Amino acid sequence: MRVLLVPALALAFAAPLQAADAPAQTQKTPGAPKMESKSPHSVATLLTGKGTITFELLPELAPEHVKNFADLATSGFYNGTKFHRVIPNFMIQGGDPNTKTPNKGTWGTGNGPRQLKAEFSPADKASHVRGMVSMARSTDPNSASCQFFIVQGDSKFLDNQYSIFGKVLTGMDVVDAIAKSPRDSGDRPLQDVTIEKVTVKKE
């Protein structure tokens, strides 16, 4: 299970039966970077029930995380998964294969075929500000697998704790809409937000 580790807020991403930690909600940092519509990098396209999100993959920051995400996307691993944890002004988290099942008690605990060593970026190279894409994990820094999160509200306190591997190019309005979805006490959207298809185009 993989989750962003955040005070009182856990995002699932790590080993089976472990909740992945997601960035914990704290103070917002003003000044998010302006997203450009063109990129020299490979671009991931997420078709969701609320619209399309595209983000560039950043191998100079986290080459193994980029490769892992691209491999999973190409295999169809993410198709049909859901955003299972959404927190306004913080982030949206998805990529768990368990969300393809109706057993919500297991959502946030699923893994992919491999676990990755941490590839944390110095804050001067990349920071968890609005629009950045990072990997969720369990308490073990080297446990990221398949779950990822998109930062909706600046969360620099996550820097040097989670591996940033992408940056949104288009669709932050979709991210905002997903983050604002009505949710239950476990931060799961009351209505499913499905990732219908993920593709990666190599430039």
What is the reported pLDDT for 24? 55
| Boundaries of domain holding 115 | 3-23+42-201
* Residue 31 forms part of a structural domain: no
User: For residues 91 and 123, which has the higher predicted lDDT (pLDDT)?
Assistant: 91
Q: Does residue 158 have a pLDDT over 80?
A: yes
Q: In this predicted structure, what is the pLDDT of residue 8?
A: 34
pTM for the model stands at 0.84
CATH of the domain at 182: 2.40.100.10
Q: What is the pLDDT of residues 36-55, one digit of tens each?
A: 445 588 999 999 999 999 99
Model pLDDT for residues 68-87, shown as the tens digit of each residue: 999 999 999 999 999 999 99
Q: Is 68 part of any domain?
A: yes
Strand order in the sheet with 51-57: 81-82, 194-201, 43-48, 51-57, 164-170, 132-135, 148-151, 91-94, 85-87
Report the number of distinct structural domains present in the chain: 1
